[in-house]
Amino acid sequence: MSQPRHRSVLRGVFVTTMALLVAHAYAKPAADALAPAGRWEGKTDGSASTPPMGWNSWNAFRTEVDEDKVMGAARVLVDSGLAKLGYTQVNLDDGWWLKRRTSDGRLQIRTGIFPSAATGGPDGTSFRPFTDKLHAMGLKAGIYTDIGRNACSQAYDLHSPNLPQGTTAEREVGLDGHVTQDINLYFKEWGFDYIKIDACGLADFVPGSELVKKQDYRAMAPLIERGSINRTDIGAVRARYEAVAAALKAARPANDYVLSICAWGMANVRTWGKDVGNLWRTSADITPSWTSMLHNFDSAAKRPLYAGPGHWNDPDILHIGHGDFDAAHPVEVRSHFSLWAMINAPMLVSYDLRNGPASFLAVLGNADVVRLNQDKAGHQGVVTYDSDDAQIIVKTLGDGQRKAVALFNRGASPAPVTLLARHLKLSDSAPVTLRDLWSKQSATFTGEKAFTLAPHETLVFEATGKRQLENGVYLSEIPGSINVAVDGTRQAQPDPTIHRMIDPWSNTRSGGSRPQYAGWGGAQADTTPFGQTLQVAGQAFDSGIGIMANSRLQVKNDAGHALLTASVGVDDSTENTKQPVRFHVYGDGKLLAESPPVAFGTKAHWLRADIRGVKIIELVVRGAASDGAPPVVATWGDVQLVRAAGR
């Protein structure tokens, strides 16, 4: 949880830290950032090789959670068989704490709702009996805190009976000033496996505000300004989460932990979340409405190059069980679940499992759809056809031969959708077999197949056929094998293509629910950074990577490909048409191929690099260092990896 419930609370005097040095946060990368590392720099810490699955207490109970409710959910996960499918995480959200003991800073648990925590002795309370129960059931335990002094409930759930109690200092239950102490408590002493860290403490306890005055909180000049990326201290926010990551690594050197960053897509988390945490929120809190689901889905769906094994885009908890996703809306329930599976979102359910209908368990228990989400290769689905009405999302599965495809009707009217073999990067002259993962029926087509989707319907298929590249793979098919080390963006900007719903907390009293995820201009699969067709001097490319100049991508060559080829150049969509760029291919740190300087309007240059024996390929685009002009949009057209002949 994280998003304001009553925005009028925060209309006090805003005192910002304008020693922010925003220019530093957005500046063009230093020359050494573009130098090949020769080693994989993607996230490897933590135990999230596939997206976390399980249950979270927040949407089910908010702060009015208790031990019986949590253990009841855990029992259903086990008894229903969901745990065997991977739903092993049981996450306790806000509402568990009583206070921070001022004598030694130790957090105390609200034993009135968690009676097993009343262990007595000098420590007062302990969650160890609680986590031991979960572990004995074959499950994992998660806990919640805030990166600042105070939690989100202390700003937005003031009616709650389970808010921290006591003096101002006793109610400061967040990590601020206690990172090592609290992480050691949670992970070494209490035995938790997963932590979700909110960020209200950095945004909402503003000096001079009515909230601070009425609740007698200690004010903090915000590091996150909810309405402005430029007034957010991105470096300071990142540094706080980095401190937690370091404490986690020290507390659990076996890497058996998960760090969930909940900064709601703010503080330009797109560029650094993958390097610090195992998952990072890309949006505000989801609400149980179709339009909220669209908003949250959009925030993550077009960022596949930033996610992969160990680090995942997080569009928030599944809201199955409530509102537009209750038992009366089976089409919407299946769509919500299917979309989260296709984009490798964490699959955390959050309704009262003890009282939910069997139909929900049937959806959550669809092993075929779960398998898409948990595929070991970790390739997030790529939006290969995009409109406000309907989308086609394609995901490459681990063996490289099979694809998953989702046909998604975003609207309230039936939608005609034609699936092309080339959407799947399969040959349009050979049969393609589709297996419907909901109906379990199969069909075959050649070239294209027409569908009519019901309102809000999502059809999901596993597809097999003859690949366009029989002896290789396009890089855009394997985003989970790519690390965007530097993406060349200079100014963080919200993505204007994210669906804007009526603000669920202020209705039409505000300017609408604006996107918070600063993903506009980031690296993209099969489109430019701004969603345009990849095109160089009039030559269009269905496949490729669109990225800004002064960027560096890393690619794992785990399959032992022998050759990389690409048609490279300045994209026709670039705003900067004056500055030339050069493209470079490195293998394990050594230069393998490079282009001459290429300028806008110049025909695409064909690059070829021998990558036999290379483990890490790095693709670098270098351009002029002009602060007065926007970065050049560069295209790696048809960039592909090819096996050696006879393999």
Distance, CA of 281 to CA of 264 (rounded, Å): 5
CB 197 within 8 A of CB 244: yes
Distance, CA of 153 to CA of 204 (rounded, Å): 11
641 phi, psi to nearest 5 deg: -110, 135
Question: Environment class of residue 388 by beta-carbon count within 10 Å: exposed (0-12), middle (13-18) or buried (19+)?
Answer: exposed
Checking phi first, is residue 512 left (phi over 0); if not, alpha (psi -120 to 50) or beta?
A: left
Distance, CA of 155 to CA of 45 (rounded, Å): 32
How many distinct helices (H) and strands (E) make up the chain?
Answer: 15, 31
Distance, CA of 345 to CA of 212 (rounded, Å): 35
Pair of tokens at residue 606: 């064909």
Residues in the chain: 647
**DSSP reduced 3-state for 247:** helix
Distance, CA of 213 to CA of 489 (rounded, Å): 40
**DSSP reduced 3-state for 314:** strand
Element (H, E) at 290: helix 290-301
What radius of gyration do the chain's Cα atoms show?
A: 25
**DSSP reduced 3-state for 324:** helix
Distance, CA of 566 to CA of 617 (rounded, Å): 13
290 CB-side CA count, 13 A: 16
Going by C-alpha positions, the residue among 120, 182, 127 that lies closest to residue 149 is 182
CA-CA-CA-CA torsion sign (331, 332, 334, 339): positive
The active-site residue out of 157, 193, 198, 638 is: 198
**DSSP reduced 3-state for 605:** strand
Distance, CA of 59 to CA of 433 (rounded, Å): 39
285 is annotated as an active-site residue: yes
Alpha helices in 195-279 (DSSP H): 210-215, 234-251, 269-276
198 is annotated as an active-site residue: yes
CB 477 within 8 A of CB 441: no
The active-site residue out of 45, 233, 285, 638 is: 285
Find residue 445's DSSP bridge partners: 432
Active site residues: 198, 285
